[in-house]
């Protein structure tokens, strides 16, 4: 009788089965997203309006971009706590450049390059090349950059009137808001880097087993330095988006940014120790957090509830993933 049962005990290897298998880590967050979306769509007539949906997305453009960078850091098995401080630092730098008479386009390019350099050159080199703990290094750079920003800006925000930032926040291209374009392009680039390059494979390998990756001849130091450069680049982009939305370069360091980004990445099914997951899940994670925040505020529920719900769901989603992994 046992033998009769075992006859069809072979794993499903059809094409559909394979896609199902590889996308399994997306299921919990996808279910959550659909659930919250449906609940808010039914309970609140304003929720589905074009204006609200656009607001839902654009108000989370910064989180989206930062979370894309954070995904690579976490796939490689690390975490970047310094993104909030680096964002504030770069925002002030952008403001200073404009005040010094540099044109908007050049300031934008310099800021983004500086983001890559700060992330890769400071966090990346200290963690990748010198082998220091990522928690130690990113915590230290969070603190140091916070101090630098306050010294440099004298804790004063810099009001900014520039066509670059205005058009990022409010401009349209082909009828779609520029922030949405930025989100889309960031996602596509991240997806390509992750799935269609050897570099993407390196990131997974380093996160999965750094020692094995090194013994296979992969340049693990460079791989790690690069993920922090990516995170720094994402912070720069997010800083500029933030300036566009608020009309000023603020020296306030928002340390919720890295935490929310980490939450989005984890919700999206990326393993906390690295090596599996990806930007697809992160996109769903950000969309879920965005929907939850937007829906709750539409329903006049305190945003503190959003934090409580996020915490509970974060743990549940990870537990769900683990149950799924154990079969």
CA pair distance 115, 89, nearest whole angstrom: 9
Structure tokens at 274: 């690295």
For another protein, the closer CB: 235 or 271: 271
The minimum distance between CB 198 and another protein, in angstroms, equals 5
For another protein, the closer CB: 2 or 161: 2
For another protein, the closer CB: 74 or 296: 74
The minimum distance between CB 75 and another protein, in angstroms, equals 10
For another protein, the closer CB: 10 or 50: 10
For another protein, the closer CB: 14 or 161: 14
How many other CB atoms are there within 10 angstroms of residue 99's CB atom? 13
Q: What angle do CA 192, 204, 259 make, to 5 degrees?
A: 85
The minimum distance between CB 79 and another protein, in angstroms, equals 18
For another protein, the closer CB: 18 or 322: 18
Angle at which helices 83-99 and 61-75 cross, to 10°? 130
Contacts of 13 (CB under 8 A, 6+ apart): none
In DSSP terms, 108 is beta-bridged to none
- Dump strand ranges (E) for the chain: 158-159, 172-173, 176-177, 248-249
Contacts of 115 (CB under 8 A, 6+ apart): 86, 90, 232, 233, 234, 235, 236, 237, 239
Length of the chain: 327
The minimum distance between CB 196 and another protein, in angstroms, equals 5
Binding site for another protein (CB under 8 A): 2-3, 5-6, 9-11, 13, 18, 21-22, 196-199, 201-202, 204-205, 207-209, 211-219, 271, 275-276, 327
Torsion of CA 113, 139, 69, 232, to 10 degrees: 0
The minimum distance between CB 12 and another protein, in angstroms, equals 8
The minimum distance between CB 2 and another protein, in angstroms, equals 5
């Amino acid at each position: 009788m046992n033998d009769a049962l075992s006859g069809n005990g072979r794993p499903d290897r059809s094409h559909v089965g394979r896609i199902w298998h590889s996308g399994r880590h997306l299921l919990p967050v996808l279910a959550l997203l659909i659930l919250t979306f449906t609940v808010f769509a039914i309970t609140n007539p304003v929720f589905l309006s074009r204006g609200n949906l656009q607001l839902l997305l654009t108000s989370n453009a910064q989180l989206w971009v930062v979370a894309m960078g954070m995904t690579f850091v976490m796939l490689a098995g690390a975490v970047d706590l310094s993104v909030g401080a680096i964002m504030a630092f770069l925002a002030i730098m952008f403001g200073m450049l404009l005040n010094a008479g540099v044109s908007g386009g050049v300031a934008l390019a310099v800021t983004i390059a500086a983001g890559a350099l700060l992330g890769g050159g400071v966090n990346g080199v200290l963690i990748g090349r010198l082998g220091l703990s990522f928690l130690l290094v990113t915590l230290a750079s969070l603190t140091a950059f916070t101090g630098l920003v306050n010294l440099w800006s004298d804790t004063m925000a810099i009001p900014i009137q520039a066509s670059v930032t205005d058009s990022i926040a409010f401009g349209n291209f082909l009828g779609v808001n520029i922030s949405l374009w930025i989100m889309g392009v960031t996602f596509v680039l991240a997806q390509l880097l992750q799935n269609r390059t050897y570099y993407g494979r390196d990131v997974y390998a380093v996160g999965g087993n750094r020692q094995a990756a090194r013994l296979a001849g992969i340049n693990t130091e460079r791989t790690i330095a690069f993920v922090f450069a990516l995170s720094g680049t994402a912070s720069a982009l997010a800083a500029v988006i933030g300036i566009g939305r608020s009309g000023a370069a603020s020296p306030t360091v928002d340390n919720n940014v890295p935490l929310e980004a980490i939450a989005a990445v984890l919700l999206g099914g990326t393993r906390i120790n690295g090596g599996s997951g990806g930007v697809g899940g992160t996109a769903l994670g950000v969309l879920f957090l965005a929907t939850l925040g937007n829906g709750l505020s539409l329903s006049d529920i305190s945003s503190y509830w959003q934090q409580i719900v996020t915490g509970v769901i974060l743990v549940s989603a990870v537990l769900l993933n683990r149950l799924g992994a154990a079969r």
